[in-house]
Structure formats: C-alpha cells, structure tokens
Amino acid sequence: MNGPAPTPPPSSRLLTAYAIPGIRQISPGDDLAVEISWAIANNRVQIKDGDILVIASKLVAKADGLIRTTADRTEFERLVTEHSIGTVAARTFHTTAGAATVAITRTPHGTVQAASGLDRSNTGTRDSTGGGSVLLQPDDPDAAAEQLRAALSDRLGAQLGIVISDSTSRPWRAGVADIAIGAAGIDVLDDQRGRPDDSGRRQGVTVRAIADEIAAAADLVKGAARGLPAAVVRGMGAHVRTGGGSARELVRDFAEDWFRYGHVEAVHRSLGCQRLDVAPASADGDDDILTKVSRALAVVRRGTARTPGQSAWRMRVAGAGGQILISPADTPARSSAGGHPLIEATLGLGALVDRLQSALWCEDLQASTQYTWADNGSPTGARLSIELATPQP
C-alpha cells in the first residue's frame, strides 16, 4: 500500500460482522494472508479502511504447522502441562474411556484457558482413548497478528486491524465465548477513566476490553464447525491504527489477579501441597465420602507442616470414610523445634486437626472433633466424625 495511510473512519452506532466464506483447508506451510485474501476476492467481500479481521487461532496454528499427535489421554494431558506456565485449577471427569483430567492453565502468552488452549476438534483424527491430532496455540499470537495485518493491508489496499481469537470459559458464567489472544493495528483497551458518564460524573475504573468484545461479536457469525474461521467486523474504525496493539495488554498481572487459583487449589497450596501431589477432585462432585476423605488425608500428609509436633501422630480413615482417627505414631515423639516433646506433640495435634478441617472443607465436608487424654493430662489422640457440609455462597 503506497502513500500515507488513510485516516480510519470513526466508530459508528452500527456494528456489522460478516463471516468470510470459501477459505480453503489450511495445511502446514500455507500462506494464510494469500488464502484469506483469495477467499475475500473470490466471494466479492468488500473491505474498507477501519475494518477488523478476526481470525481463529487454529487457522494460524495449522498454517504454522503447530500440530502434534498424542497416543492417548495421558499424553495429551502431558502436552497441556508442557505448554502451560502454571495451573489455576484441575478436575477429573469420568468417561466411558476412563478418567480424564481437565486443567485450567496459564498459557505462555498470559491467557487462562482450559487445556492451555490446545484444541483436538476439527483436526481430522481422534480415537476413543483420547489420542489423535492436537493443535497448539500460536507461539506468539501478537507477532502473528502483526504479520497478517501488514500482509493483508497491503494485499487488500486498506488499513486493517487484526484480532486472533480463541474460545474460553469464564468464571461464574456458563458456556464459552471468544477472546483476543493476539492483536495488531487496534486499540485492545478503551480506557474511559476520567471521562464523564451519562450523569456527568467522572469515571474512575472503567476500561473496556475492546479486542475481546470484537472477538465475541465475530464469533456469532464465524465458526470452525461451520467452515467459517474468519470474519470482518465493521464499525470500530476509531480503534484501528497503523501499527501497535497487543493482546498482552488484556492480561492482568499475576500480582493483581484475585482469582489466580481455584478454591480447592488455593487451600491445597496453603497447606503446602502442589497440584500434582494429589489427584484432582471429580468435576461433577460425585466422589464418594471415602474418596474425598482419603484425598484430604493425602493433602495433609504431603503438604508442608509448619507447626512442630505433627510427626508425633498418625492418621487413618475408619468407618468407610466416616471417621478419621489420630493416634500416636509408632516411633516415640522427639523434639523437632527444641521444645519438650510432649508440648510439641500437643501443639502438633491441634495443628493437624486444623489442617484436616481445612482439607475437608474444600471437599464440601466438615467434621466434629473429639480429643482423648491420658490421666496425666497429655493428649492421646483425636477422632474426627465426618459429615457433609452445604457450600455457602
């Protein structure tokens, strides 16, 4: 595109989204800009300055050859771990093919998505054991978006914005919606702080996620299942610019994230137990009492004990999960913090019961505790009687 870039039109009160038909099946090594511009020309789709092209991330991944093959579900879950920088939450689903763990993870480019955004749909191969082809996410979605912006703007003779989108679930809301994981040539955020609202008051906190809203609007007309992996959104020209823009601006800093872990994972971490130390809970909550209590015990055993004297006690499940019995360990208690072994053991028993109560809480269980004492006043153990707890909003 020769000459100075034209000034994009302002945003209007009319927003349109049009799926681009006729994009051919993409194979590794294909020039995505060529394929998209061919479909636009072949279907006589009109492109104007200020238009925003929203392109499914799997289209970019296919062109980049980001396809892996897994033998089974276990390999797929290992691939998810390899392409994440941290786990937010994980749950187990029980299927006819066996147990499957679904993890909500942070991707290297900062988004929080199920299975690190890895996609097994529309990849051509999949078997009943969970094996088959897997599409990874683009290595650098912002760089991919900028490359497409430059190439498509030149080919189509218009100043464009690009959004690379992917679907994700959302806290507190059912269903999935598309978000921007890559962007170029657009303002991804619209900071309205300091502007007057309808009442004339200056806004103090509102920052609109423009790129996410554009991705969600485009998803209403496009869809890989319908053979429509890209769409044109028109009416947001005021947010299109010559260069710049990055979907990373949409990622909240980890230190500012109030929801960095699931409620179960937060408790486990507070007890010094990492996610992979214990099998995840069932997603449907159908684990029986014995399974839940055994998992709570495993968390307490494998977690870091911060109060001395806990090693003086042993725990076991009784009554098909209805009770946890705490009794003296086989090895006589020794001081671990320089205090009297009996005093440390007394402190340790109380701390152990408290840790058990916390681990049971995230299993939607609670317990009443009965301590036992020797004639000289020293503790001899405790019995926790388990009962269901009603989760409170």
pLDDT in tens, 213-258: 999 999 999 986 678 999 999 999 999 988 788 999 999 988 899 9
Confidence (pTM) = 0.85
Nearest Cα to 48, choosing from 235, 179, 193? 235
pLDDT in tens, 254-288: 889 999 999 999 999 999 987 667 878 888 777 89
Residue 356 CB coordination number (10 Å): 25
The CATH 3.30.1330.100 portion of the chain extends over 16-66+138-256
Rounded Cα–Cα distance for residues 185 and 160 (Å):
7
pLDDT of residue 11: 57
Q: 4-13, 99-108, 151-160, 248-257: lowest mean pLDDT where?
A: 4-13
DSSP-derived secondary structure for 108-157: TTS-EEEGGG-B-TTSS-B-TTS-EEEEPPPS-HHHHHHHHHHHHHHHHT
Query: What percent of the chain has a predicted confidence (pLDDT) above 90?
Result: 66
Rounded Cα–Cα distance for residues 162 and 182 (Å):
8
130 pLDDT exceeds 70? no
State both tokens at 237.
């020209």
DSSP-derived secondary structure for 292-338: HHHHHHHHHHHSPP-STTGGGEEEEEEGGGTEEEEEE-SSPP--SSS
pLDDT of residue 299: 94
Residue 2: what residue type?
Answer: N
pLDDT in tens, 148-173: 999 999 999 999 999 999 999 888 88
Rounded Cα–Cα distance for residues 165 and 342 (Å):
61
Average pLDDT of the residues in 131-139:
91
Rounded Cα–Cα distance for residues 308 and 342 (Å):
11
Q: 140-144, 274-278, 296-300: lowest mean pLDDT where?
A: 274-278
State both tokens at 65.
């050859």
State both tokens at 180.
């921007």
pLDDT of residue 8: 55
Instruction: Tell me the CA distances in angstroms from 49 to 55, 233, 240, one per residue in order.
Output: 18, 11, 9
Confidence of residue 339 (pLDDT cuts 50, 70, 90): confident
The mean of the pLDDT values for the chain is: 88
Superfamily of the domain at 16-66+138-256: CofE-like (3.30.1330.100)
